[in-house]
Structure 1
């Protein structure tokens, strides 16, 4: 996979070229970590970090950190030795641990990156902040609603930096797309659609039976919320980000229909989030068919954004060439003459407009320009965390965005499990934008 090589100044320049960087900093406060004001404080310094959880996601973060050159990885921690040894090969100077509490006791560690199974996120993050460490935790925020709230409360109480692995908040095409939403480019938002389709069983090979739940933790309710906490949490943040509000009620359905292999979590889900203004946001996921892939779509009365594809479409497209207009008129005339028990009927067909790219060009590591949606914000996210560890400055709104995406995922799961309509519980509401 090619990674985008964009520094803090280049990042703002790239996005700012599409609109006022001052406006972007106001609209997306987490970008302040890239601002030039921090450069003196950051010059020559590196964040001293520990990686807790060195499986596939932990290794991904290690590689991104090595690319940014803004971190010194001083400690590695994992209870599974093969993963620990794999990470140590990339970070030979880092101390190795099997107990995260020893990591938190180390004076050499400024910040921790948590890439463990979901049920461990909150306990380690809470202990880390109370120990005076800055914390980056993978999404979802926590396994339960109460853990999410406790994690948020400790963040507010301690004043420590807290990041959650919602890389879309640092993805150039998403940032520009949401600016287009907020400045009215696509008109009034009338619907949001999220879907994630894949075709694999999510199961990993197990060297011995005793490791089944440790390795395949995503398949068991004790450790995971399945598709909602592993996939939906990425996409559900679009609702809060776009509408600046939270749903008033949620409904959904989930089942195990194909992968009947002893797993406890659903292999297909459908959820509807109803907002006070009548707009609905949907999430759908099936993991036994990959035809339609994944995307987040924001529908406005003037246009549509396809965020994962990095494209936008307007409702009123450019006029077709003369011959095409003639063909369309003939086709409509034919259908207009056919009566279907009332007014004449014209087929409603999807637009064939190819759309435009939200971000036209992004420079890749080899210096070339690539069109469209390069990079996903992951490297910018860990670079920003390094900045925050060095400066000690939390990023406003970033935690609140991640909190609500996790809570919405868990409320959707609750609605499915209880087969009921769930009102958004008052006890899990936190101050954020216009619903303080």
Structure 2
């Protein structure tokens, strides 16, 4: 083992990882065990928080519904550019709501502590900056920005105004991610050398074929405000209600889905990100006028670092999946692998012996230094599952956000962490459209 690896293992408290014996985390369980994950603490809601929603579409509404499950949290106002969503907001959350199509009217209110931003991606940067400048804490859906060029501005605003900002890649707050991080640090799968992720969908909503309401017209949609920071175009209901299909507003499959996988991987490994990005793909099925591929393959190179040895990552996304879709993140090491989901971790290890070298073990046996007596071997597969009643990663993500606000604390997915997950996803798009490798500096967060 070289000095670099010794330093890495010491920093990660992984002294036992150098042994050929599977760590105690696996040795204590038999092969069919369901070793449960459980959260160690609950958030104390000792301060009322008043929140507002900016962008009340599918994800924005889901975010608000989850946020309101927490104690002592109430909704005050909603902003959206479509009348139908504003009407729905009053039906869902109360007739008392202040409604507007201008998000700046939300930010002027003194009775709002935090805003949830569920707008299309091209508005994430400006609303986040304006909200923090106005003294509001921010929960912004992923990806944090629409392009790599926007990342520094959001980070600078976060540092300048001192507000809590959390980005919504909820898997980072899952018990599955937390357990995988713990197991990797314990050396259960050895040194990471490869990872892969897959995200597949097929049904029309899952492929961004969102409902276009019959009354979605220029009379009910503030189209001019919607496109005011991008290309001037005549009103197009598809570009408004199915915005993910178009580059002016969305960030393609990688910005929508790869970013989740980057977030989980970086949290588990403590990685700052890749230094080389490449992508291929194509429009294979959904030839409906969209500007982004429905099959995307990304390849990423992670360099040696203080956080981890170098490894490679492959990500795949398919909106033409006839198997009805699947999602996973697999992390592969020198001794085994982990399949990571938000509520489950499956660890598979190689058969272990008392020696890393079968030849040396055979020589020791000839010298009488090794007994012929059979040993009790640890399991080759262990499944970790959450306990019944787990409220899920989305719930815990908001719990972490609210706890940080109440205690003036920190969140894991702050703008720096979020940008390091968003950048390789956005660069994956750039690689695809430019048909070239892209080099990235993950430490200084800039193109090379």
- Seen in structure 2, the aligned counterparts of structure 1 residues 239 and 174 have a Cα distance that, compared at 3 Å, is closer
Deviation string, structure 1 residues 154-191 (Cα, Å, up to 9, x no partner): 11111111000011111011111111112211111111
2:70 aligned with 1:62:
no
Q: How many pairs does the alignment contain?
A: 353
- In structure 2, the residue matched to 1:76 is 78
2:269 aligned with 1:231:
no
2:238 aligned with 1:212:
yes
- Seen in structure 2, the aligned counterparts of structure 1 residues 314 and 212 have a Cα distance that, compared at 3 Å, is closer
Separation of aligned partners in 1, 2:333 and 2:293: 31
Normalising by structure 2, report the TM-score.
Answer: 0.73
Superposition deviation, residue 375 in structure 1 = 5.0
Separation of aligned partners in 2, 1:196 and 1:152: 29
Q: Which of 289, 305, 310 does residue 338 from structure 2 map onto? A: 305
What SS does the aligned partner of 1:59 have?
helix
TM superposition outliers: structure 1 runs of 4+ over 6 Å: none
- In structure 1, the residue matched to 2:350 is 316
- In structure 1, the residue matched to 2:156 is 153
Separation of aligned partners in 2, 1:121 and 1:186: 38
- In structure 2, the residue matched to 1:116 is 119
- In structure 2, the residue matched to 1:393 is 409
Separation of aligned partners in 2, 1:300 and 1:398: 28
- Seen in structure 2, the aligned counterparts of structure 1 residues 160 and 265 have a Cα distance that, compared at 3 Å, is same
2:300 aligned with 1:273:
yes
What SS does the aligned partner of 2:69 have?
helix
What SS does the aligned partner of 1:298 have?
strand
Separation of aligned partners in 2, 1:176 and 1:427: 26
2:132 aligned with 1:132:
no
Superposition deviation, residue 222 in structure 1 = 0.5
Please say if residues 46 and 386 of structure 1, whose CA atoms lie closer than 8 Å, have aligned partners that are also in contact.
no
**Structure 1 portions without partners, runs of 5+:** 1-17, 19-31, 320-352, 365-373, 431-436
- Seen in structure 2, the aligned counterparts of structure 1 residues 396 and 271 have a Cα distance that, compared at 3 Å, is closer
- In structure 2, the residue matched to 1:144 is 147
- In structure 1, the residue matched to 2:291 is 264
- Seen in structure 2, the aligned counterparts of structure 1 residues 425 and 311 have a Cα distance that, compared at 3 Å, is closer
- In structure 1, the residue matched to 2:87 is 85
2:186 aligned with 1:183:
yes
Separation of aligned partners in 2, 1:314 and 1:108: 51
Superposition deviation, residue 427 in structure 1 = 9.3
Separation of aligned partners in 2, 1:51 and 1:227: 25
**Structure 2 portions without partners, runs of 5+:** 1-24, 26-38, 218-235, 305-309, 354-378
2:167 aligned with 1:164:
yes
Separation of aligned partners in 1, 2:288 and 2:97: 39
What SS does the aligned partner of 1:424 have?
strand
Superposition deviation, residue 394 in structure 1 = 3.6
Superposition deviation, residue 415 in structure 1 = 1.1
Normalising by structure 1, report the TM-score.
Answer: 0.75
Separation of aligned partners in 2, 1:305 and 1:269: 23
Q: Which of 51, 54, 68 does residue 53 from structure 2 map onto? A: 51
- In structure 2, the residue matched to 1:283 is 315
- In structure 1, the residue matched to 2:387 is 362
Superposition deviation, residue 95 in structure 1 = 1.4
RMSD: 2.6
Please say if residues 199 and 289 of structure 1, whose CA atoms lie closer than 8 Å, have aligned partners that are also in contact.
yes
- In structure 1, the residue matched to 2:248 is 222
What SS does the aligned partner of 1:75 have?
strand
- Seen in structure 2, the aligned counterparts of structure 1 residues 375 and 285 have a Cα distance that, compared at 3 Å, is farther
What SS does the aligned partner of 1:363 have?
coil
User: Where in structure 2 are the equivalents of 1:186-197 lying within 5 Å?
Assistant: 186-197=189-200
What SS does the aligned partner of 1:67 have?
coil
What SS does the aligned partner of 2:290 have?
coil
Deviation string, structure 1 residues 369-395 (Cα, Å, up to 9, x no partner): xxxxx5541011112222233334343
